[in-house]
Structure 1
Amino acid sequence: GVPPEKPTNITCWSKNTKDLTCKWNPGGEGESFLHTNYTLKYKLRWYGKENECQEMARAGPNSCYIPKDLALFTPYEIWVEASNKLGTAASDILSLDILDVVTTDAPFDVQVNRVGDLEDQLSVRWSSPPALRDFLFQAKYQIRYRVEDSTEWKVVDDIGNQTLCRLAGLRPGTVYFVQVRCNPVGIYGSRKAGIWSEWSIPTAASTPRNERSGGTCYQKSGESSSNLRRELKQFFGWVKKHAYGCAALNIKLYDQWRVWLQKSHKTRNQNQEVAVFIGLQEDSPGR
């Protein structure tokens, strides 16, 4: 056997500022034939006594959990000591403020609903984690979603602090699973990035079916109609490119356009059916 090498890569996080969990990597290849003990120690940077973390392996191997009695607005010094029969080694000291490593619970009451008859959109609403409602902070949210028969998630990360998002560019008549997570940024003025929560429980919803994809027979149209279709295709290509995810576009205008398109399409089909019927009547032998 050999003496232990110093542990590395200490990372810590606090759930709602109430506790602290830390993990680390053992130095070298770990125990190397001799049993090695690891002890996480911590103290306030400028004063206070040295403490030892008691709840080992709470978050898996090479981890320790401090459940209470933590100070805010004062940095801690944290390190890990490894020891066996042949010696002792200490990690580098990690200095951190509890407020800089806060994570929280996943958002709850996630609701996913259709947006009227718009076949390529879903509306997502959720509630902020209740444990942080009394804290001064600016939350960030992410959404991820996937179709029912896929394991590939698409992430929308430009949501900001709002608790409502419109997903656009979806497939008509398709079941989607949606999840949301929260990052409590800037608790009491902290300038650190924060740590993402776990994802919420998946919520499922389906987009409306595209009625125009049925077996309707369309008549040939003239050049003006062809130009209109081309303009519409360009418009939708632009909208889907710039309105992906939770867009800051004028959604009302987009909705009005889609509703108008659907109504005009139905009206055009009806007019074509009437024209065909009249043409058949005029061509009948009895006339």
Structure 2
Amino acid sequence: MTGSSPRHHADRCPGVLRPWIADDGALVRLRLIGGALSAQALADLALIAGDHADGHLYLTKRANVQLRGIKHVDGNVPDDFVDAIKATGLLPSPSHELVRNIMVSPLSGRIGGQADLRPVGQRLDELLCDDPVFADLAGRFLFVLDDGRGDLVDRGLDLGVMAVDAGGAQIRVGAQHWGEVVELDAVPEVLLDLARRFIEVRGHGDDALWHIDELPDGGADLLGLNHARDLRTQVASLPAPYGLIAQEDGRSVEHVDVPDGDLTHDLATQVLARAGRDVIVTPWRSLLLPDLEHADG
């Protein structure tokens, strides 16, 4: 809702250190940059879910993973659960865990798209976590990096880019505004400069705004100068079909259906038996198994 904020409470988006207490126990969310995690980390999470939660991993529309049904005392999950999560490497910055919301086109750098935005997403995360000021962003504040194929162009976002060629991307601010085309190497700094400006004007306390669209101008003043939307961003694409797909490097990626985003222990075991080194959670609550050395299954 542009230009207003009806809320009078702080953001309560869950994390490992700030769980949501539901009827079946505590719920925690792990932020994955571009949905990426190692197969080993996924295996570790499956074990953690069995030992501490309800045995399932739940995939979200922001390409993250949730665990639920966790025992808690006074709203706090057990220390051994937190230690187990930290050991996976998926909680690199406890102070910034809630704001590491960075979506990247899932197939970026492997099939299609104008540019590989995986390094951009990783650098954005590093700089985000390095600056204490960004820990004040709401847990729902979202960066979206579309690699030019248009698979994320319709996603709601606060800040983001859409690649226009192999070396550049157009800045996006909120749902309405487009900025300049910048070199890919400059994208993280440009986006975080805009995020810093938002923090300066969002207000304080429980009345602070969560999203750029809630600013009176929908974020136009953050840009300083609006630009026309580049014609090269006028594209859209559907999710990849399920099954094996040839990558541009001669290897393959398998797109695995996860019904209702519920990754059961049995399905996780099957996935891990086929996975290579990496796994990608998609915004469609499915999994990609990239860089497989076989293309015939």
> Which TM bucket (shorter chain)?
under 0.3
Bigger proportion of residues as helix:
2
Task: Give the alignment's TM-score, normalised by structure 1.
Answer: 0.22
